Homo-oligomer: A and B are copies of this chain.
Amino acid sequence: MKKIVLIIFILFTLKIEHTLHADDGYRLWLKYDEISNPLRLQTYKKLIKGWMIFGESSTMAVVKKELYTGLEGLLGSAVPEVDSINDGIVIVGIYQSSPLLEKLNLSNRLINISQGSYIILNTRLDNKQVIIITANEATGLLYGVFHFLRLLQTYQDIENVNIESSPKIQRRILNHWDNLDRTAERGYAGFSLWEWHKLPDYIHKYYYDYARANASIGINGTVLNSVNANPLILSPLYLEKVAALADVFRPYGIRVYLSVKFSSPIDIGGLPTADPLDSQVRQWWKTKVEEIYTHIPDFGGFLIKANSEGQPGPQKYGRSHAEGANMLADALKPFKGIVMWRAFVYDDTIKEDRAKQAYNEFKPLDGKFRDNVLVQVKNGPIDFQPREPFHPLFGAMPKTPLMVEFQITQEYLGFSTHLVYLGTLFKECLDSDTYARGEGSTVAKIVDGSLDQHSLSGIAGVANTGTDRNWTGHLFGQANWYAFGRIAWNHELTAAEIAEEWIRMTLSRDPNVIQTIKDMMMFSRENTVNYMTPLGLHHIMGWDHHYGPAPWIKDKHRDDWTSVYYHKADSNGIGFDRTATGSNAVNQYYPPVAQKFTQLNSCPDEYLLWFHHLDWDYRMRSEKTLWEELYYHYYSGVEAVREMQCSWNSIQDNLDEEIFQHVQTMLKIQEKESVWWRDACILYFQTFSGEPIPTELEKPQKSLEFYQNLSFPFAPK
C-alpha cells in the first residue's frame, strides 16, 4: 500500500510541476523546487532534520524565513524548528552571543574578518553531528544561510562542509539609472521598479524580492536614481519615499544611496550658487544630509556625476573635483556616509583623445580627497564598450580608493535581446595587471584596497533590472546580475564557476545540459565582440539610442559622440593610433603595459585597432590581412550565434517550456541582429578598404544604404 501511495504522490507531484510551472523567471536563481535527484534528496534529508536560530531582529526574521522556506522547498516538506540539539540540526546564530556556539572555539577564525563574513561548518557539538552557520553579525548569517541553501540547490556535499567566506570588497552596489517618471536610462527590462507615485504608502511585493535576490549574492547597497539626477530626489516629498524603500531593504543588509545633482542648492535650495567653497552652500548640504539621516539612519551616501555630459559640477566655480567631493564628504562624515565621485568626464571642447581625459583630470587630484570619498571609475576609458582595455586610472591614484563601475545593463551589448554573459568581461578587467607596484598589481587588488591598503573599497554595477516579470528582460540577463554580485563578493571566483552555479540554480542540474549552457555563456561575450566590434574597434553603434551598428555616424555637434572619431577608417586603413605617433594614450599605462600595447608584436589582437591605425593589408599573426581578419571575425560571430541556437535547441527536452521558448526567440533576434551588425559594418568598411568578400561567404542581405536609412524612433535609451 505504501508503494501505491508513493507512486500516486510522485505522479501527482510531477503533474503539478508540469501544470503550474511554466516558469516565468520571476524567482530568479532562488528556486527552491524540490530536489529531483532521489539519492541527493535522501542524503540531505538525513543530514538536515531540524534547525535552531538564535537571535531576534528584523534581519534574523529574514534569515529564519529564508531557511524555513528554502529547506521546505528543497527537501519537499517542512523541516521543523527544534529547541534542543541533536544529530542533523542546523544551528544558526551570532557567535559572540551564543554560549552554545562558543564551545566550538571559532573565535580566532572570526576575529578580524570583514563585515558580512560567515562560517558554515559540519561538526560535532555536544556529541552531536550538526551544521553550524555562524558570523559576527546578523547580515553575515543571512549571507551564510543563502550560501548554505545554494549548496543544496547546486547539489554540493554538505557532509564535510567547512566554509569560511569573507567579502573582498566592502561596498557592493547596484546603480540604478532610474528617473522619477519611472523611465530608466539604458533600461531594457521595462521600466523602473520604484513606483514613486505610490510610495511611501504602497509597498510592492517585488521590493522585498529585489532585496532578497541582492542579499543572496551579497550586494549590500543600491543607488536608487540615475546619475543624471533630478534634484527633487532630495525634496522632503521624495525623501519620505526613499525612506520607505530603505525600510524594506534594511533587514536584507542593503543600504540606500542616492545620486545627487551638484546644483541642488540652487535647484531646490533657492541659493544663488552651488560653489563648494561657499559657506551657505556647505551649510545647505550639511542641513540636507542631517535631514536625510533623520529619515534614513543608515543612509549610505551620495553618487555624483559632475562636470560630465552637461551635468553641473564644481568646475563652473573654478573648483576641482576634489573640492566638490570633499564638500559632500564633510557633510556626510558625521553619519559615516560616503561619496562616490564619478571619474567619467570628457569634454569635446578639449582637443584631446577622449580616452585620456579622465586620467588627465583625476590623476593630479590623487591624495586630495577626504577619506570617505571613493572615485568611481568605469572599467574602461571610453564607455562600457563590448571590449575596452582596463582604465588607466587603475593604479594611477594610489592614495585614493577607486571603485570600479561595471555596466550590467547591456547598453552596447545587444540590449536585453542578446545572450551575452558578462562574467568573463568583469573578470577580464579585474584580472588585468596594471603593474602599478610591479607584476601582480591587478585591477582587482586596486579595487579591493589590498594593493594600497585602503580601508574603504567599493564596486558598482549599473543594474539591468526592471519591471519585466523576469526582472531582466532576457532570462540570461539574470546571470549577469548574479555574476556581478558573486564577483563583487569574491573576485577570485572564475567566470565559469559562477556560470555553473547560476545554471544549476536557474536552469538544470543535468551535467550535459550544464555543459552545453556553460559553453554558450563562456564564449558569448567574445563572440558578441566578434560580430559588433572585433579587433579593438569601439563606439560604432547607433546614434543616441546605441541600438545596432552605425559606423557611419559623423558630423554631429560633438565629435566624440561620432563613430568616425573612433575607427578613423580611410582608404589606407583603420584604427585609432594611441601610441606616441598618435594620441599617446598608451603612455597613461605603466611601462610594461604601455610597451605591450605599443609594440605590434605584443599588442593583443583584441586591442589592435584600439591602439593602432593599420593598413588594410597589414599582415596579422594569423597570416591574414587586416581586412581579411576583420570580415573573418564578423562572419565567425554570426556563425557562433547560429551554433548557440543549435546548442539551445539540442537541450529543449531538459528545459522548462516557457524558458526554452523565451530564449529561443531571443536567440533568433540575436541571430538576425548579428547579421545586421556584420553586413552593415563590412559594407561600410568595404567602402574604404575597397577589398572584396570571398564569394563563398553569405552575401550581405541588404545594401549599405538600407542599413544607413534604418531608424528606430522609440528605441529605449
Q: Which residues of B contact A8 (CB under 8 A)?
A: 5, 8-9
Number of interface residues of A (CB under 8 A): 44
Question: Contact mask A164-193 → B, CB, 8 Å, 1/0?
Answer: 000000000000000011100000001100
Q: Which residue of B lies closest to A20 (CB)?
A: B20
- Cβ of A232 and Cβ of B202 under 8 Å apart? no
Task: Determine if B201 and A669 form an interchain contact, defined as CB atoms under 8 angstroms apart.
Answer: yes
User: Which residues of chain A (442-498) have a CB below 8 Å from chain B?
Assistant: 467, 469
Judge if A697 is at the interface, Cβ distance under 8 Å.
no
In the bound assembly, the distance between CA atoms of A716 and B182 in angstroms comes to 10
Q: Contact string, A675-717, partner B, CB cutoff 8 A, digits 1/0?
A: 0000000000000000000000000000000000001111110
Residues of B within 8 A of A181 (CB): 714
Are the C-beta atoms of A715 and B197 separated by less than 8 Å? yes
Closest to A202 in B: B665
Q: With A1-B4, A715-B197 as given contacts, are A202 and B9 in contact (CB-CB < 8 Å)?
A: no
Which residues of chain B are near A73, meaning CB under 8 Å? 19
Given A4-B5, A197-B714, A714-B181, also A658-B202 (CB < 8 A): no
User: Are A714 and B196 also in contact (CB < 8 A) when A4-B1, A8-B9 are?
Assistant: yes
Closest residue of chain B to A716 (Cβ to Cβ) is B197
Interchain CB contact under 8 A, A672 and B201 = yes
- Which B-chain residue is minimally distant from A21 (CB atoms)? B20
B residues near A711, Cβ cutoff 8 Å: 237
A80, chain B: closest CB distance, angstroms: 15
A198 in contact (CB, < 8 A): yes
A16 CA to B202 CA, complexed, in Å: 28
A371–B180 Cα gap in the complex (Å)?
47
* Residue A82 lies at the interface, judged by CB distance under 8 Å to chain B: no
Contact between A24 and B205 (Cβ–Cβ < 8 Å)?
A: yes
User: A317 an interface residue at 8 Å Cβ cutoff?
Assistant: no
The answer on a CB contact under 8 Å between B202 and A669 is yes
Would you list which residues of chain A between 182 and 219 have a CB under 8 Å from chain B?
Answer: 182, 190-191, 196-198, 201-203, 205-206
Min C-beta distance of A659 to chain B, whole Å: 11
CB < 8 Å: which of B5, B9, B190 contacts A467?
A: B190
Taking CB as reference atom, which chain B residue is nearest A201? B669
Cα distance A181–B183 in the bound complex, in angstroms: 10
Contact of A12 among B9, B72, B182, B197 (CB under 8 A): B9
Docked complex Cα distance between A666 and B198 (Å): 10
* Nearest residue, chain B, Cβ from A188: B197
Closest 5 CB pairs of A and B: A180-B714, A201-B669, A181-B714, A1-B1, A191-B191
With A180-B714, A202-B669, A232-B713 already in contact, 8 other A-B pairs whose C-beta atoms are closer than 8 Å? A12-B12, A12-B13, A182-B714, A190-B467, A196-B714, A197-B712, A201-B669, A201-B672
